[in-house]
Structure 1
C-alpha cells in the first residue's frame, strides 16, 4: 500500500495532519512462515509523483498502461529485520468506473480500480508466487477517526469475478452498507448483500463481521495482521450459495483514537 498522508501514522497525527506529502510510506506485508513487514515513513523530499508513477524513497509504483508494477526496496521491521526487495506486478482484467463516497459530503471516497486482477510476486526466496489480486484506493480530506467508529471491508473472489462488501458505522449514528459484484470485464453491479454476520473476534478482541448467507457463520482461515485496533485475515463465507475465501479487514477507530496507541505505533512505523 502506498500512502500520501499515512492514515495510521502517529507522526502524521502528532503533526496535526497539516502536510500529507511530508508523511509518505510504502507498506509491504507478507504472511505465513518468514512473513515480512515494512512501513517506513518518509518526508516530502522522498516523494515524487507523475500521472504514471509514484516514488516513495527507493521504492516506486508505475502504471505501464496495462499493469501496475511495484518495485520494492524497503527495510523490514521486527521480527524479520533486513532488506526487503523485489517486484510485484498486477495486471487488471479490466478497470472499473466505480467510485463510492463513504460519507454524504464525499470527505472519504473508495475507488475500486481493479477488483479482478492477476498478480506476480517476487520478493526473494520463499516469497515468489502468482495468483489473483486486487487494486483499489481510498481518498480522504479528514482523519478516518473523525467520521467513523468502526468498519469492515471484504473482497471475495467468485466464479464470475469478485464481490466487495463495505460496512461502516459513522460517528453521526448513520451507517454505510454497500456491496458490489464485479465482472472480469470491469462491469459493476450494486447489490443487496446477505445479512451482516458476526464471527469470532481477533486475537486482540477486535469485533469482526461480514456478509454471509442466512445460517452460515464465517470463519477465519488465515490470520494476516493483528493489532489492538485492526484485523486483516483470510475469511471464508458463503454469498448467494457460493462458498468463497477472501481478504477481510476490521477497523475499530474508537480504539485507534486512544493516545496510548500512538507510541506503540511509532515502534512499528519508524520515520526517516
Structure 2
C-alpha cells in the first residue's frame, strides 16, 4: 500500500497541471492472488489531514503509535471487482535509517528508505487476508513529474541473511543513468556495496522490460506477479546475490510508455476522482 500527496500516477493530477498536490491525494491498496483488489481513489484537499505523526486521506489513515506504523484502511476497490477493502496493517520497524538518496543531481527526486527491515501484520476483513511476515517502509519525494526526468527505472529490495539489500537503476531523459546498491543491517546501519551485474529477465504480461541484479550466470525469475500495468510491473523475484539465493520485491517502471497521452483515459477507469469529503 502507498500513501500519496500529489498522486503521481493519477490522470486527474496530470490533467490539473499538477499545480496543487494536496488536491490529489490517495491511499493505494493492492491485494494479490484470487479475488485480488486494487484501490486508488483520487481525493481532493478536503479529504487530507496531516499532523506530525498522522496522515489521513478520507476514510483511511496512517498513524505512528508506540514505534509502530498503524494503517487503517477503508476503501472501495476499482473494477473489475468493486467491493470494500477494510482493515488494519501494522508495521513495526526493526530500525529507522537516516538514509536519504537523491535520484537526480539537482535533488528534484529523493528516495528515503525509512525502514528497509520491518515486521508486518495484515488484518483485512476478507477470508485469507490475514497474515504476519516481513515488510519494509520507504518513501519518494519529488518536485517534478517522474516522466519529466526519467525514461525507465527498476527497484528491488531483497531480504538477506544479514538484513536487506536494495537496488535502484534508472535511465534519465537527458541520456544519463543512475545506479546504486545499499545493504542495510538490522540495527539501521547502511552501506553502499558493489552490485552484481544488471541482468534482464522475462518481460511482464504487458511486455514491460524487467532487469535486476544477479550473480554472473544467474537469470532472475519471477515467483509471483503482484501488479501488472502497461507501464509498470511489481512482482516477487528470485535471484542470487553474492552466492546467496534471495527472494524480494521488484518494480519496473517505463516512463516512456507512461508519457503516452492515451494511457491517461485508461488509468481513469482504475483511478476514480472523488473531490469532496466531510469529516
Q: Which range, TM-score by smaller chain?
A: over 0.9
Which residue of the other structure, out of 257, 260, 274, is the alignment partner of 1:258?
260
Structure 1 distance, partners of 2:78, 2:259, is 24
Match of 1:107 in 2: 108
**1:81 positional shift:** 1.2
| In structure 2, C-alpha distance between the alignment counterparts of 1:80 and 1:132, rounded to whole Å | 28
Determine if the alignment matches structure 1 residue 83 to structure 2 residue 90: no
1:77 CA drift (Å)? 1.5
Show the 5 A alignment for 1:40-59.
40-59=41-60
Counterpart of 2:269?
A: 267
Task: Give the Å deviation of 1:121.
Answer: 0.2
What's the offset of the Cα at 1:65?
4.0
Question: So what's the TM-score if we normalise by structure 1?
Answer: 0.99
Alpha-carbon shift at residue 79 of structure 1 (Å):
2.5
Alignment-derived partner of residue 216 in structure 1:
218
Which blocks of at least 5 consecutive residues in structure 2 are unaligned?
275-279
> 1:161-240 counterparts in 2 under 5 A?
161-240=163-242
Q: Give, in whole Å, the separation in 1 of the partners of 2:38 and 2:15.
A: 23
- State the aligned residue count: 272
Residue by residue over 1:233-266, the C-alpha shift from the partner in whole angstroms, topping out at 9 and shown as x without a partner, is 0110100100111100000000000000000000
Q: Deviations over 1:141-163 (max 9, x none)?
A: 00000000000000001111111
Aligned partner of 2:277 in structure 1 is none
Cα distance between partner residues in 2 of 1:40 and 1:6:
10
Residue 236 of structure 1: SS of its match in structure 2?
strand
* Misfit runs of 4+, over 3 Å: none
Q: Deviations over 1:203-259 (max 9, x none)?
A: 110000000000000010000111110000011010010011110000000000000
**Is the partner of 1:268 in helix, strand or coil?**
coil
The superposition leaves residues 145-191 of structure 1 with CA deviations (integer Å, 9 ceiling, x where unpaired) of: 00000000000011111110000000111111101100111010111
Q: SS state of the match for residue 45, structure 1? A: helix
2-structure distance, mates of 1:126, 1:56: 26
Do structure 1's residue 120 and structure 2's residue 121 form an aligned pair?
Answer: yes
Q: TM-score normalized by structure 2?
A: 0.97
CA–CA distance in structure 2, aligned partners of residues 157 and 190 of structure 1:
16
Using the TM superposition, give the Cα deviation of residue 71 of structure 1 relative to its aligned residue in structure 2, in angstroms: 0.1
Secondary structure of the structure 2 residue equivalent to 1:27? strand
Structure 1 stretches lacking a partner, 5+ long: none
Q: Structure 1, residues 22-49: CA drift from partner, whole Å, max 9, x if none?
A: 0000000010112111111100000000
Q: Which has the higher contact order (CA 8 A, sep 6+)?
A: 2
34-43 vs 132-141, which deviates more?
Answer: 34-43
* Structure 2 match to 1:22: 23
* CA–CA separation in structure 1 for the residues paired with 2:3 and 2:57: 8
Aligned to 2:139: 137
CA distance in 2, matches of 1:59, 1:238: 38
